[in-house]
């Protein structure tokens, strides 16, 4: 049983990671602000809830006591907020991540596991092919630039201080608990709007391609391998399959059982046309990969959104 600290434990991916770590026999110290009345993850005696602010290094230092593995799955920005104000990402995510690494060295942490971004970190080069971990990293969005900076600082701390780390470059995760009301993630946005009879917006001609991975597959992949001594420094995690926005819109209508109202908008200049991750490295090293079909994952997501909307009395 590993003693783990999950930063961002009450978030979308983080809460599923907490559940998966516990189900695989590990203890979890769950670090987040916990602004809601109850945590997003399932209640379990193996979970220690640790309310804290990522920007408070004193709280981070306290949370690291007795911890073997740190999951850095917290972010103070989204792709949209970083795009609008890149300096916030520099002043918060990058700076505090470096402080975290210093504290991990001091606390003799065995390994840091970092949630990075998938295709956006590779940039526009070779857009038509699936990206592999050795491809050049040429991000054009502030969010991806910040993620790459943290990756490089992890590499520095490994060389300078012997702090082991593994980066997970994650494609487009979706599933239950994704905050659809925050307007991030095309799948929950489409499903919510269709359910509420609101228009969905398709950028450009809808041919934009992304790699969508079901969040429970993603966190299960991570929780089953993070203690392995033979972990490589970077892994792509996704489905390995590209799907167009038009296909997502069609599948969302089929899952919801109703027709969508479709609007069109221009594609932002920093958006990539195609992002698909090659996950061969992970599959070769560990023998398994994501397995939930897009239809099944979207169906589970739609049921979750329906229940959340009804519970909140939005209609």
- Confidence class for position 119, pLDDT limits 50, 70, 90: confident
Distance in angstroms (rounded) separating the CA atoms of residues 284 and 213: 18
Q: Give the pLDDT score at 179.
A: 80
Higher pLDDT, 120 or 227: 227
Is there a single domain that holds both residue 100 and residue 193?
Answer: no
Q: Give the pLDDT score at 66.
A: 97
Q: Are 288 and 166 in contact (CB under 8 A)?
A: no
Number of structural domains, the chain? Answer: 2
The range of the structural domain enclosing residue 266 comes to 175-211+241-271+292-312
DSSP code per residue over 180-210: GGGT--HHHHHHHHHHTT-EEEEETTS--EE
Mean pLDDT throughout 218-229?
Answer: 97
Is there a single domain that holds both residue 179 and residue 231?
Answer: no
Which residue in the block uniquely carries the two structure tokens 């990402």?
Answer: 89
* pLDDT surpassing 90 at residue 72: yes
Is there a single domain that holds both residue 69 and residue 150?
Answer: yes
* pLDDT surpassing 70 at residue 127: no
* pLDDT surpassing 90 at residue 126: no
Q: Give the pLDDT score at 128.
A: 66
Is there a single domain that holds both residue 16 and residue 40?
Answer: yes
The three-class DSSP label of residue 40 is coil
In a domain, 278, yes or no: no
In a domain, 261, yes or no: yes
User: Which tokens go with 267?
Assistant: 């594609």
Q: Give the pLDDT score at 131.
A: 92
Mean pLDDT throughout 185-199?
Answer: 95
In a domain, 186, yes or no: yes
* pLDDT surpassing 90 at residue 312: no
pTM of the model: 0.94
User: Which tokens go with 100?
Assistant: 């975290």
Mean pLDDT throughout 288-307?
Answer: 96
Is there a single domain that holds both residue 140 and residue 229?
Answer: yes
In a domain, 193, yes or no: yes
Is there a single domain that holds both residue 94 and residue 230?
Answer: yes
* pLDDT surpassing 90 at residue 36: no
Is there a single domain that holds both residue 23 and residue 148?
Answer: yes
In a domain, 19, yes or no: yes
State pLDDT tens for residues 10-30.
999 999 999 999 999 999 999
Q: Give the CATH number for residue 128.
A: 3.40.50.720
Q: What average pLDDT does the structure give for the chain?
A: 94
- Which of 37, 27, 24 has its CA nearest to residue 6? 27
Least confident of 184-188, 243-247, 310-314: 310-314
Mean pLDDT throughout 37-42?
Answer: 90
Q: Give the pLDDT score at 83.
A: 84
* pLDDT surpassing 70 at residue 314: no
* pLDDT surpassing 80 at residue 293: yes
Is there a single domain that holds both residue 21 and residue 85?
Answer: yes
Is there a single domain that holds both residue 197 and residue 263?
Answer: yes
Mean pLDDT throughout 231-237?
Answer: 97
Is there a single domain that holds both residue 81 and residue 187?
Answer: no
Is there a single domain that holds both residue 135 and residue 266?
Answer: no
Mean pLDDT throughout 78-101?
Answer: 92
DSSP code per residue over 95-132: HHHHHHHHHHHHTT-SEEEEEEESGGGT-STTTTS-B-
Least confident of 43-47, 60-64, 210-214: 43-47
Is there a single domain that holds both residue 201 and residue 124?
Answer: no
Based on the number of CB atoms within 10 Å of its own CB, is 40 exposed (0-12), middle (13-18) or buried (19 or more)? Answer: buried
């Amino acid at each position: 049983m590993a003693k783990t600290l999950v930063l961002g434990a009450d978030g979308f991916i983080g809460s599923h990671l907490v559940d998966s770590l516990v189900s695989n026999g590990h203890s979890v110290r769950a670090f987040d602000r916990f602004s809601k009345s109850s945590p997003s993850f399932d209640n379990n005696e193996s979970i220690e809830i640790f309310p804290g602010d990522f920007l408070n290094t004193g709280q981070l230092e306290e949370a690291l006591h007795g911890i073997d593995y740190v999951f850095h799955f917290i972010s103070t920005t989204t792709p949209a907020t970083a795009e609008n104000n890149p300096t916030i990402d520099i002043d918060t995510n990058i700076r505090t991540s470096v402080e975290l690494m210093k504290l991990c060295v001091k606390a003799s942490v065995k390994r840091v596991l970092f949630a990075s971004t998938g295709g956006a970190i590779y940039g526009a080069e070779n857009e038509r092919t699936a990206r592999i971990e050795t491809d050049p990293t040429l991000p054009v969005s502030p969010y991806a630039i910040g993620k790459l900076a943290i990756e490089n600082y992890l590499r520095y701390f490994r060389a300078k201080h012997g702090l082991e780390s593994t980066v997970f470059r994650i494609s487009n995760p979706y599933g239950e608990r994704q905050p659809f009301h925050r307007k991030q993630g095309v799948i929950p946005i489409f499903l919510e709007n269709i359910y509420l009879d609101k228009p969905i917006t398709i950028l450009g001609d809808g041919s934009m391609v992304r790699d969508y991975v079901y969040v429970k597959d993603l966190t299960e992949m991570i929780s089953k391998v993070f203690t392995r001594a033979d972990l490589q420094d970077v892994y792509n995690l996704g489905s390995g399959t590209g799907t167009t926005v038009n296909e997502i819109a069609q599948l969302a209508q089929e899952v919801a059982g109703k027709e969508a109202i479709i609007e069109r908008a221009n594609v932002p200049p920093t958006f990539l046309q195609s992002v698909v991750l090659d996950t061969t490295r992970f599959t070769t090293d560990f023998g398994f990969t994501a397995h939930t079909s897009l239809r099944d994952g979207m169906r589970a997501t739609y049921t979750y959104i329906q229940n959340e909307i009804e519970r909140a009395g939005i209609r």
